[in-house]
Amino acid sequence: MTHPDAPQPRHAQSYWLTPSRSLTGGCLLLAGIGLLMYMVGRLGHPHYVEFASLLWIPAVIATSLGAGWVFQRPTATTHRGQEHTAPAPAPLEQSPPPGPQVVLGGGDIDRIRQLLSGKFPFELLDSAVHYDDTTGRLMSYALRAIVPGYLADRRNATMVAQRLQGAVAGDWLVDVDSARDQVTVTRKKPFPPWVAPPLPEVIIDSPEEAIRRYDKFTIGIGVDELGERLEYALKDYHHWLIIGGTGSGKSVFVRGIIEQLRAGGIPILAGDGKGTDYTSLNGEAQMVMISSSPAEHPRLVHAAVQELSRRRRVAQERKAAGHPDPMGFPAWAIILDEFATMRNEVAGLYEEHPGKDNAFVEDLRVMFKVGREFRMHMMLSTQDLYARTIPRDILGQCKLIITLGPPSDMTLKQAFTQEMEPKARRVGELISPESQGRGLVAVPETASVKEFQSYWSYTPGTDIDGPKVPEGIRGLWRTYRDNVSRKIPKLYSRQWFCVEDPEFASLPMAELHALKMVNLDLDDGTPDPQMFQYDKSRDDYNGHLRGSDHDGALRELKRPTVQPSPAPSDLPAVSGENCQPM
């Protein structure tokens, strides 16, 4: 940046100059007019010559000369008698053109100060004002409430957040800290359209290693508005609730979590509410059970309850024997996808049974309340969250709440606490329905709510070269597939219950729960031939309905074969009488 030269002191010679011609002419004109008026006043005196009569001559000369010098076109020269030419200015040194000037804040911080000058009971914390080093753009600032406890009022906190979001141009994240009477405002960075998950640091290759690494195992869900990865330890966030409507990216998100659990050596019991979403995961490592029908879902959850009861007994025996780690069990993950649909179908199936679906709900309560102590973790995924979908006592056990897409009013009221709801509503309103995979993650214990972009993960069965997969992510997915998904060792056998015939679906829930669980694989991980009848992935599974594949289905008709028309030369000749009119 160049600066103007400082003014130089004027030398004495520049002050002592002869008056200009116009100034001299003005003086002569005034003097001449004065003499003329004096001479006019003497008219009428005696007619004799005296010395004063000679003043007519200088009066006329002074008036004429003065008028001539005053009323003239300005020239660049001085009056006659002294030509004064100003010294030519020294040539300026060549300097590079000035670069763009960086103005810190671009006027945004002045806008904030102007806002504070009104009836807005806050003061700016100068130490919390930060700018971008390159552009000088305002990136963050903080305000402190002048009135202590002002932000404790939810209405005040909401009003302040809404006002600061639109105070200056840009997309801003407002964090209200009522305990400190402080508001922090941060400029949000634009989220990328998709984010691929990083490769795991290690792929667990034994149940013993999975037990040792349990305390350090985390699940990554995506990146926040600052580009930071969001990871949550399973031991701290025992049970999860995931909510997302159609097109929000919820299914891809849940399958991405499953892929991380598989690499972490964690057995997975998956309830497929739609019945077809997890077909490609059958037989994959760590996929212990996959239920896909209303009768299978309660049995899967009850299998987890049975494992919980077994762990209780083992833990008591270990404690009695002085075991150093009586709770050293492999972590289990029970994922119930499309839970609202699942719950409605189970309730409908057992509507006419005594107790209806109460046993199913009670098993869920046991898992949510006691499961965390024995490393058994529940994850519920649903499109809708009605008041009847998940009981409040179960909902209160969810340590992590994730919504994908803009949350509905019903979701805001049911999933978030009163303390979290205002912020979740403010941030959720900024999420576009077109932003697939964008969502909120909330921790009820700390009442924190963050916006994030979820990972777009590869899972087995995904067509990497399909039209729905962006070109930029295909290479990353191939890397993940070849270095992670295909290298995950199978650590546990698949399990299912002893189904003797297709009528199991009509059994009362108590009888269904009484069906024995069996392992479907041998010690080396290959299917056990003696268990083929209980393996639902096989055609000879006892639970399959027998009969024709088209039994009861709409029949597709076969069209008759069309014979080719004979060539014109092969047509028989037409007699002339056949062409006569009737």
Q: pLDDT tens digit string along 408-464?
A: 999 999 999 888 998 898 888 888 888 888 999 999 999 899 999 999 999 999 999
Cα radius of gyration (the chain): 45
Amino acid identity for residue 175 in this structure: D
> What's the pLDDT tens digit per position in 140-198?
999 999 889 888 887 888 888 878 877 887 778 888 888 899 999 888 778 888 899 99
Inter-CA distances, 28 with 19, 31, 32, Å = 12, 5, 6
Specify which of 122-126, 206-210, 559-563 reaches the highest per-range mean pLDDT. Answer: 206-210
> What's the pLDDT tens digit per position in 453-481?
999 999 999 999 998 888 889 999 999 99
Name residue, tokens 């995506």.
222
Name residue, tokens 């057995």.
267
The fourth-level CATH superfamily of domain 207-490 is P-loop containing nucleotide triphosphate hydrolases (3.40.50.300)
CATH class of the domain comprising 104-187 = alpha beta
CA atoms in the 13 A half-sphere facing the CB of 543: 22
Furthest-apart CA pair in the chain: how many Å? 162
Where is pLDDT greater, at 76 or 309?
A: 309
**Predicted pLDDT at 10:** 46
**What average pLDDT does range 312-330 have in this prediction?**
95
Q: Are strands 138-145 and 130-131 parallel, antiparallel or unpaired?
A: antiparallel
CA 189, CA 140: separation in Å to the nearest integer? 12
What single string gives the DSSP state of each residue in 300-350? HHHHHHHHHHHHHHHHHHHHHTT-S-TT----EEEEEESHHHHHHHHHHHT
Q: Which residues contact 26 (CB under 8 A, 6 or more apart)?
A: 66, 69, 70
Q: Which residues contact 562 (CB under 8 A, 6 or more apart)?
A: none
CA 181, CA 150: separation in Å to the nearest integer? 7
Q: Is the dihedral of CA 148, 154, 158, 159 positive or negative?
A: negative
Q: Where are the domains of the chain?
A: 20-70, 104-187, 207-490, 493-544
Q: Are strands 400-404 and 240-244 parallel, antiparallel or unpaired?
A: parallel
CA 407 to chain centre: 13
Topology agreement, domain 104-187 and domain 207-490: no
**Predicted pLDDT at 177:** 87
CB 195 within 8 Å of CB 251? no
